[in-house]
Every structure is written in C-alpha cells, then in structure tokens.
Amino acid sequence: MIPGSNVSLFPVPGAPNQVAFDREELNRILDLYGRAVAAGVWRDYAMELGRDAAVFSCFRRATERPEYRIEKRPSFRRKQGQWALVGEGGAVLKRGHELSGVLAPLERKLVRVVE
C-alpha cells in the first residue's frame, strides 16, 4: 500500500499465487475441445485456476456435472505426474507427466466418434 493513498500494489510477478495453464497447454486442450464440439460430443467448458490446481472441465450439457476434468497439479510433479484426467464420477482415469499422454484416451474416443 502506498502511504496516503487508496491504491494497493499488485502481487510480485512470478510469485506462485495461482496455478495456470501456459499458452501451449491451453492451445492443446482447446484444440481437443474444439474438435469435440464440432463432433457434437461437448457443448460447454469451465476453467478453475486455484492455488493448488488448474482445472479444465468439459460438459455434455451446461446443467450437468463435467464429463471430464483435465487437472494440472504441480505438487504431484515429482510423484505421479502433474497431469490427471478425472472422469464424471471423480475417479482418476489417467495420470502422467506429459499432457499428451493424459489426453490420449480422449483423442482415441474422439476419433471413434468422428468415424
């Protein structure tokens, strides 16, 4: 806070206050989402950026629970991998260190839908 004013300073850039997707990761996820929308599989999405995780949720309909959640949890980076694919019931379907490996089941499922 600057003395004598009502202006608050922003947090220091680069401080780990929030987990987020970088541009390459988000492009990869949105590419998959766009193809699923074109195939009529998904209709809506939501993103949640928090202190512990960044979550991209895919919905068949906006009023339902997400069909899939793609989670990035850096605290798991050295354990099981920071990426996880979570199903509608909350079960972890795939976990890994690389985003492409975690998205592979969705890619395969989408190829079957298009054919």
Q: CA-to-CA distance for 72 and 94, rounded, in angstroms?
A: 12
Confidence of residue 6 (pLDDT cuts 50, 70, 90): low
Q: Which two tokens stand for residue 62?
A: 């906006």
C-alpha distances (whole Å) from 41 to each of 44, 68, 93, 98 are 10, 12, 18, 24
pLDDT tens digits, one per residue of 31-84: 999 999 998 888 899 999 988 999 999 998 867 788 999 999 988 888 888 999
User: SS3 for 64?
Assistant: coil
User: SS3 for 102?
Assistant: helix
DSSP secondary structure letter of residue 48: E
User: SS3 for 26?
Assistant: helix
What's the predicted TM-score (pTM) here?
Answer: 0.78
pLDDT tens digits, one per residue of 8-36: 444 445 556 788 888 999 999 999 999 99
